[in-house]
Amino acid sequence: MEEGKPISNIDDELRQILAEFMVEVIKLEELVEVGRKFLVRFQQALEFLRRPSIYESSDLVKSIAKANETKRVNAYVQAGCLNAYDSTLSVGQLNTSLSDLHDCVTKSKSIIDELKNLMDKAGNALCMTSDDQLETEIQASEAIGSEKLDGVGCASYMAVIYSMVKQDYVMQEKIVSSLSFKSSSGELESYCLMWSLRPFINDDIIRQALKQVR
């Protein structure tokens, strides 16, 4: 902080940084939802390829196939009663979804880096060197309620929110890195659930921060 600089100016500067910070958080929230859709699409495509053969699971289909032993029917049975076009489409969907997920994670990483830069900018403005020191101020910031936050309060929200979204990003990155055509149904179900639940995110804190910049 520059000697003699009015506190109110520092507070205004930190509120502006918080506003920029929350714009990036909103972008990240939108990417999380986009990524969730890509993950579900990957799951659906892989499960389609794994679905049981109609021929093997149905006595009726077996009898129909036997009664109509044409070249077309025989070829279909040999293929496991799966439409070749649908199978090809699903494989393409798997590859596209995986590529889209990697792209989504890359974009999220860029936003996470920008959030870190903004948080550091806020810390430097307050002449603070410890993230822990910022986080201890969150209770005091919440007590302000609907009033405007001071500089320390703004920095506190940034520190806490950054910690949450960084952990959320790391979880998503690990999920995407572990995906493959060999991923089990149980794994995919758990990944989709965790992506949707976002266990590291406290929505109330994000909403409180957004109220301060509206």
90: in domain: no
54-65 pLDDT per residue, tens: 555 566 666 665
Number of domains in the chain: 1
Domain that holds residue 143: 7-44+99-212
- Which residue's structure tokens are 């301060």? 212
Tell me whether residue 89 is in a domain.
no
pLDDT digits (tens, 9 = 90+) for 32-74: 999 999 999 999 989 887 765 555 556 666 666 566 555 555 5
Instruction: Please give the average per-residue pLDDT across 124-142, as a whole number.
Output: 55
User: What would the pLDDT profile of 155-184 be if each residue is shown by its tens digit?
Assistant: 999 999 999 999 999 999 999 999 998 999
Q: What angle do CA 115, 120, 124 make, to 5 degrees?
A: 150
Please, which residues have CB within 8 angstroms of residue 168's CB and are 6 or more apart in sequence? Answer: 32, 198, 200, 201
Q: 172, 28 in Cβ contact below 8 A? A: no
Over residues 107-118, the pLDDT tens digits come to 999 999 999 999
Q: For the segment 79-93, what is each residue's pLDDT rounded down to a tens digit?
A: 555 555 456 667 888
Asked whether residue 52 is assigned to any structural domain, the reply reads no
The whole-angstrom separation of Cα 106 and Cα 164 is 18
1 falls within a domain: no
Would you say residue 127 lies in a domain? yes
Flag whether 84 is in a domain: no
User: Is residue 2 a part of any domain in this protein?
Assistant: no
88 in any annotated domain: no
Give residue 78's pLDDT band: very low, low, confident or very high (50, 70, 90). low
Contacts of range 83-91, beta carbons closer than 8 Å, 24 or more positions apart: 86/48, 87/49, 90/45, 90/46, 90/48, 90/49, 91/45, 91/49
Percentages of the chain per state (helix, strand, coil), in multiples of 5: 80, 0, 20
What pLDDT is recorded for position 130?
44
Task: Answer whether residue 133 shows pLDDT above 60.
Answer: no
Q: Taking the model in full, what pTM does it have?
A: 0.75
pLDDT of residue 88: 64
Residue 21: pLDDT over 80: yes
What pLDDT shows up at residue 74?
A: 56
Average confidence (pLDDT) over 138-165 = 77
Q: Bigger pLDDT: 108 or 1?
A: 108
